[in-house]
């Protein structure tokens, strides 16, 4: 999404669960998780709240028609848990010798994830529907964190709606409270602050109707949710206290 020269309106809500698993698609035997939800995962959460059918929302939530900023609220904590799955290598699973048709796989999870989302949609009617659903704490479909086993809860952030002011860093050091897409701004790394834990991930950004990822995004974040610093680039100020860069 290209940041315009205008102020914007955002629906704001928080989402959390006990665990999350945002699978890295290239891992199979021992599935690993992205440390943060991908842009595609966030689109799925928004689509579930609105009640949009599967594969119907890619245009609504594409790069030109939507913007999402993600703020990390709980520190990123990874754990591994063994899961018992059905072993299908010998064919379809039946009732014969069921205990011998199991396999145990190690999964990586994010423990106690909690995020704050700021969402803009070009479609004004869908934007109003999202605002109404968030403020009323209602969702059409169940939302979850990556996979269906991790059902999520959500609630509006404050009143659930903000008018954001477009601002320019212009050489001044500014704290950004959301994750920072590398194509929008370059972060300043303070090597003297040992408390900062900088993170980077290359996550799926946008898919086409065939569910093929057409663009990946390079994302920077601080693993404990602390703000990142930039000195160049555009950002939006929310309520005079939170600075975000949508992607």
Cβ–Cβ < 8 Å for 140, 53:
no
Q: How far is residue 108's CA from residue 27's CA, in Å, rounded to a whole number?
A: 11
- Per the listing, tokens 């050489």 go with 171
Q: What is the mean pLDDT of residues 133-153?
A: 94
Q: Is residue 71 part of a domain?
A: yes
Dump pLDDT digits (tens) for 169-217: 888 899 999 999 999 988 999 888 888 999 999 998 888 887 888 889 9
Q: Which domain holds residue 46?
A: 8-89+101-244
Q: How far is residue 123's CA from residue 126's CA, in Å, rounded to a whole number?
A: 5
Give the pTM: 0.89
Q: Is residue 95 part of a domain?
A: no
Q: Is residue 106 part of a domain?
A: yes
Which among 150, 179, 174, 160 has a CA at the least distance from the CA of 72? 179
| Number of folded domains that form the chain | 1
What does the pLDDT read at residue 191?
Answer: 80
Q: Is residue 96 part of a domain?
A: no
Q: Is residue 143 part of a domain?
A: yes
Cβ–Cβ < 8 Å for 139, 154:
yes
Domain CATH for 226: 3.30.70.2660
Dump pLDDT digits (tens) for 80-121: 988 877 766 665 555 555 556 677 888 899 999 999 999 999
What does the pLDDT read at residue 90?
Answer: 60
Q: Is residue 94 part of a domain?
A: no
Q: Is residue 3 part of a domain?
A: no
Q: Is residue 22 part of a domain?
A: yes
């Amino acid at each position: 999404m290209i940041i315009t020269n205008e102020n914007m309106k955002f629906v704001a809500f928080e989402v959390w669960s006990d665990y999350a698993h945002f699978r890295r698609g290239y891992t199979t035997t021992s599935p690993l998780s992205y440390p943060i939800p991908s842009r595609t995962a966030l689109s799925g959460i928004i689509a579930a709240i609105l009640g949009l059918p599967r594969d119907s929302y890619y245009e609504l939530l594409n790069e030109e028609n939507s913007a999402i900023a993600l703020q990390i609220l709980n520190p990123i904590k990874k754990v591994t848990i063994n899961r018992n799955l059905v072993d299908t290598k010998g064919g379809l699973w039946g009732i014969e010798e069921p205990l011998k048709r199991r396999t145990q796989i190690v999964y990586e999870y994010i423990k106690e994830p909690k995020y704050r989302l700021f969402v803009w949609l070009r479609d004004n009617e869908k934007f109003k529907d999202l605002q109404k659903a968030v403020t009323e704490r209602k969702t059409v479909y169940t939302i979850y964190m990556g996979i269906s086993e991790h059902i999520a809860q959500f609630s509006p952030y404050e009143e659930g709606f903000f008018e954001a002011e477009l601002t320019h860093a212009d050489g001044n050091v500014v704290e950004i409270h959301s994750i920072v897409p590398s194509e929008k701004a370059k972060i300043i790394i303070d090597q003297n602050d040992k408390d900062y834990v900088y993170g980077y991930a290359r996550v799926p950004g946008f898919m086409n109707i065939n569910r093929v990822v057409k663009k990946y995004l390079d994302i920077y974040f601080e693993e404990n949710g602390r703000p990142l610093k930039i000195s160049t680039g555009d950002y939006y100020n929310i309520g005079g206290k939170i600075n975000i860069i949508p992607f």
